[in-house]
Structures are given as structure tokens and as C-alpha cells.
Amino acid sequence: MDTCRIPANASKCSGNTMECFMVLSTQAQKISIGILCGLFGTMCVFENSLVLYLIFSSPGIRKKPSYLFIGSLALADILASITFVCSFVNFHVFNEAGFSKEVFLLQLGGVNTSFSASLSSLLLTALDRYISISRPSEYKLLMTRKRAWTALAVLWVTCATIACLPLLGWNCCVLDSTCSELFPFVDDNYLSGWICFVVLLLGCIVYAYAHVLWRARQHVAYMEKHQAQAGKQNTRMRMDVMLAKTLAMVLAVLMLCWSPVLVLMIYSLFSRLSDRLRKVFAFCSTLCLLNSMVNPIIYALRSKELFSSLRRVFSHFRRQLKATEESPEAESTHKSSVIET
């Protein structure tokens, strides 16, 4: 087992660095975390998989850059739920510490990549709405499918590179620096850098949405003034306003779920965390899964195109189910008529 400098408040754990971070001390806490992770993780995978299916099974929807970004968000949430639940439950519930530093940092890198890509996808979606509302006449020229795919490729490569820096050597064992009190082997300077990266993303999203919602309010006022004028422009404005409000709801949920985790991360950089706060951090971490679970629900309720596609899928499923149920009856009737004959 790799050893390095452990947090001062965990000195009682000297000899096994990994055990110092297993903060769940009672069976009730472990069961609670296991249930939350299992419930949120399962629902997150199912809902986001459904969103991906609805997007890529519909030619009209998948051609739009807006839904490519939403698809990237759904994919990131699926990967985040799988990597987070597997590593988090394995570590905190089953107290598995028999793997090497490299394996742990690889798992942590997978979780960070997925959550960073989720947040970055939301940023691209916000920028897409920003361009759509601020420069509507040039939107189709500026936001092409090729540029959308290029932006997504840059997004995922950047997130993966930043998340893998501890595995590549930026960790407290290689640098002989003080480890974070929240994550094994993670250098405090790297954690502060990652927090700055996340805060920068959130700042850009807030700025984009502030402009989008301001323009959306202008569009609402315009439509109320010119209700008699029905046409393509008003229809487009209504779509922009609806999608802007939808993504504002996504942003509100994101801030609500991520704020406790980020606040505790920042606090850990300047002060020692008590055992109680470290347990609170473990439970607050499950809110990130809740965020990933809620996003698809918002899409289904607010996006008319996705909701229509969902209704078509359910209608097709009901027809198939009805046909399957009626098939044995028809066959039985046919056999009875043959026997009577």
C-alpha cells in the first residue's frame, strides 16, 4: 500500500492511509448511503439512457446542436452515476482498501471526468441558447453540427486531461505534500485548482443565463404586445423562451446540489474538518447523483420535442404489448374453430 502524508486530524489512522477516509462509522450510515446511491444511480442511468434514446432515435431531434449538447450531458451523467456509485459504495460501504494508489486515482479520475463533462455540457448548452437569442439571424451559420461535435470533443478531452493529472503525478505522494482531508492521495493545490475550474464554469453559465433570461423577458413582452402577429418569428421566440426557462431550472438544481459539496471542499483548504463534517461531505456527495437524476425529468416535462418523442415511444410500446396479449387469444380461437370443423 502506498503511504504519504495524511491529514493532521486523521493521525490516529497512521499505518493505513486509506482507512483514514472511511468516515462512515455505523451500519445505519452505510446502509443509508448504499440505499441513496443505489436508488439515485439506478434512476439516473435509466432516465438518461431514455433521453439518449429519444434524441438519437429521432432524426429531426439529433440534427439540432442543442440536443447534441443535451445528449452529451445525459451521457456524462450516466458515466458519472456508474463510476461514482461503484467506487463510492465500494470504498465507504464495503470499506475496500486493498487496491493501489494508481487504481484509486484512476477511479477518482473517472468520476471527475464524468462530473466535469456534465457541467461543461451544461455550459455549452447555455452558450448555445446565448447565441440563439442574442444573434438569431446568424445562429444556423454560427452553430453548425460540425462545430458542435468539435466543441464536444474538446470538452471531453479537456475534462479527461484535468481529471487525470493526479494519476499522471500531481498527487501528494509524488510531490511529498499535504494530502486533502477529503480525498486520499489528492494534493491540496490540485483540489484548489479543480475547484477554481468548476467555479469558472459555473460563473460562465450564470453569465450566459443572465443574458438569456433577460432577452427571454424581452421576447415575452414583445409577444404580448404583438399577439395578433402570428408567424414563424413568434414561434421561434416561444421556443427560445421555453428552452431558456427549462435550462434555468436545470441550472437552479445544479447549484442547489453542488453548493454544499463545493463549500465543504473550499472550507477544507483553509481549516481542518471534524469527523462530523467529513460524514456530512459523504452524504452531500450523493446530491450530485440527485442532480443527474433530476435533469432528464426536467427535459421530459419542459421540452415539447422530447415529450412528443417519449409519447410516441410509449404508444408504440403499448401497441406491441396489446398485440402480444391478443396474439395467444387469437391463436386459441383459431385452434377451437379447427377442432369444431
Burial state string for 132-148 with b = 16 or more CB within 10 A and e = fewer than 16: bbeeeeebeeebeeeeb
pLDDT at residue 82, as a whole number? 93
Q: Can you give the pLDDT at residue 152?
A: 95
Determine, yes or no, domain membership for 14: no
- The amino acid at residue 64 is K
Q: Is residue 74 part of a domain?
A: yes
Q: What is the pTM of this model?
A: 0.83
Q: How far apart (Å, rounded) are the C-alpha atoms in residues 10 and 328?
A: 66
Judge whether 328 lies within some domain. Answer: no
Which pLDDT score is estimated for 340?
43
**Chain segment 273-310, per-residue pLDDT in tens:** 888 898 999 899 989 888 888 888 877 667 778 888 88
First CA to last CA distance, the chain: 80
- The CATH number linked to 162 is 1.20.1070.10
Asked if 36 and 286 count as a contact pair (C-beta separation under 8 A), the reply is yes
Q: Is 209 in contact with 251 (CB distance < 8 Å)?
A: yes
Domain annotation covers residue 108: yes
Instruction: Describe the chain by its helix, strand, coil percentages, rounded to 5.
Output: 80, 0, 15
Regions of the chain with pLDDT less than 70: 1-17, 98, 219-244, 247, 300-301, 327-341
SS3 category, 57: coil
* 95 vs 24: CA distance, rounded Å: 9
Residue 338 is predicted with a pLDDT of 42
Is the CB of residue 126 less than 8 Å from the CB of residue 209? yes
Where does residue 159 rank: exposed (0-12), middle (13-18), buried (19+ CB within 10 A)? buried
* 291 within some domain: yes
Question: 139: domain range?
Answer: 25-307
Query: In this structure, is residue 205 part of a structural domain?
Result: yes
Residue 321 lies in a domain: no
What's 90's DSSP letter?
Answer: I
> According to the model, what pLDDT value does residue 15 have?
41
Specify the number of domains making up the chain: 1
Q: For residue 275, what pLDDT is reported?
A: 85
Residue 166: phi and psi, rounded to 5, are -60, -40
Q: Is residue 146 part of a domain?
A: yes
Give the Cα separation of 203 and 119 in Å (integer). Answer: 11
Residue 273 CB coordination number (10 Å): 20
